[in-house]
Chains A and B, each alone.
Chain A
């Protein structure tokens, strides 16, 4: 565990970058420091590997003051990833990744083999090994940056706005990749960003910092969204935090109904039987074709091209309540279609039912908070 204990960073000109900050960073999880520019998040990160020395306070790594060990030893036990990757342009990709193992005295062959293994882990094509950084895209360079930081298998990974310089599509890919790698490796990651969505997506714990180096709130993302500590945090989270919080509620317990689901070759009785304003027609394999009012359907002559779009379906258990609600909102009938992982319809659910689920999930959340409080 990394423990930051009332740490202050004051520069000679009197500027206070970080002000009596205390933070406990749990092992094997992602802790995100987020806040507007000038809030001291990067300074805080850089104090952990002593790129910046604190003016007051101590930082403990597994109970030991980080000042106690030589600075290079400390840094070699922590991977470091920065915004523009900071690759060595005169070295090939494989040699960039092998830097720290080589510094630790590994042989060239062993270090390169390790680098090749890491390229695969971060999703880089082995054909890129002999290329130089300038021949790679921004996203690929950042993957190399992550691989290089992981090369000597350090327990701690410090990441300073690593994905802010790439476009949104690439960024999403890198974020998903980081979560996948973290699932496999279980590092203690400290991640700095100014993007609250990134913080909520990646963080196990999120520390919201405000200008002047103050900690505004330190909580898991769901808790942050349900109970912002003050107006600053609330404002920083943005206007749709209620909706975003639904990302943390599973859709598995939604009550689905298959009454209004009929096959393409439905009989007149099957069309008339359900007491529903709309029916969902499926093909022979059970995949959704579209919606229609019962009065517009003729048994034996249901034409898929005349049906209303069924919109995007959701997968209960995998997708969150937010996705389910989104499907219902986008559906022309107000009903969301639930499918299994194979795309076959398992039922439908109305906006009203999803609304019920949201209310009960919130109530359960409040109970949890009472217990915790």
Chain B
């Protein structure tokens, strides 16, 4: 039996499409974890990256934080948090946010730093306020790079949110964890396929968002 047969068997079983352990329910949970973690990570990473990038200060501190964040193993952190805080949503969110903040923070900072300084100089010289310079001069130009940072964070969250299942929460990881435990490889492969598809959908969504939000003058097309 090869992998494609597993995939076929998993998705053609009608039992996998309904109930609390059905694909729609698990997919819904997975998307919810992803959105929550991404929103939290963006709420931390974007403002810090935008402000430090605008003023050009704190770059070294940022890269330290980012390196530290990347070096932390998500699974280890999950276990540690669960031991400290008990079961629940919070111990799952912490490793996901820790994972997602560095790419958002670092790319946002770099995106702001790489904006051509002459329009900023011109804007300041014509009497534009600093906040307006940040949002109306720098941000629109830095947007493609910032979106790419959010995109890689989102993809990492999608693939890592499977660990929630280890601490008895839902999501697509449920299939993988349960499948391994039950030696039901059909389930394992089916769950992994769903995660991969969700990652591809995320990519497509970010591509569409970039098309819609980035000015043709910046896209140069």
Contacts and interface: CB of A to CB of B under 8 A. Distances in A.
Interface in B55-79: none
Given A132-B216, A133-B217, A134-B220, A88 B119 contact: yes
Contacts of A83: 118
B126 A89 contact: no
A94 to B, nearest CB: 12
Contacts of A76: 126-127
Contacts of B140: 88, 90
B119 A86 contact: yes
Contact of A92 (B121, B129, B132, B217): B217
Nearest to B217: A132
Interface string A200-237: 00000000000000000000000000000000000000
Interface centre among A89, A100, A145 (most CB of B within 10 A): A89
Given A88-B137, A89-B119, A89-B141, A80 B217 contact: no
Interface in B197-221: 214-218, 220
Contacts of A100: 126-127
Q: Which DSSP category, helix, strand, loop or mixed, fits chain A's interface? A: mixed
Given A82-B121, A86-B118, A91 B215 contact: yes
Interface string B120-136: 11111111110010001
Interface residues of A, number: 31
A331 interface: no
A89 B217 contact: yes
A76 B126 CA distance: 5
B218 A89 contact: yes
Max chain A Cβ within 10 angstroms of own Cβ: one of B128, B129, B141: B128
Main secondary structure of the interface of B (DSSP, over half): helix
Interface in A60-113: 71-76, 79-80, 82-92, 99-100, 103
Nearest to A81: B122
Nearest to B137: A88
B129 A72 contact: yes
A86 B121 contact: yes
Contacts of A158: 125
Contact of B119 (A49, A87, A92, A132): A87
Nearest to B139: A90
B215 A75 contact: no
Given A84-B118, A86-B121, A89-B141, A103 B127 contact: yes
B141 A90 contact: yes
Contact of A74 (B127, B217, B220): B127
Contacts of A82: 118, 121-122, 125
A59 to B, nearest CB: 15
A50 B179 CA distance: 68
Given A82-B121, A86-B119, A91 B126 contact: no
Contacts of B129: 72
A132 B123 CA distance: 17
Contacts of B127: 71-76, 100, 103
11 contacts: A75-B124, A76-B126, A76-B127, A86-B116, A87-B119, A90-B215, A90-B217, A91-B215, A145-B122, A148-B122, A148-B126
Given A72-B128, A88-B123, A89-B119, 16 more contacts: A51-B125, A75-B125, A75-B126, A75-B127, A82-B122, A86-B116, A86-B122, A86-B123, A89-B116, A89-B141, A90-B141, A99-B123, A100-B127, A132-B220, A134-B220, A148-B126
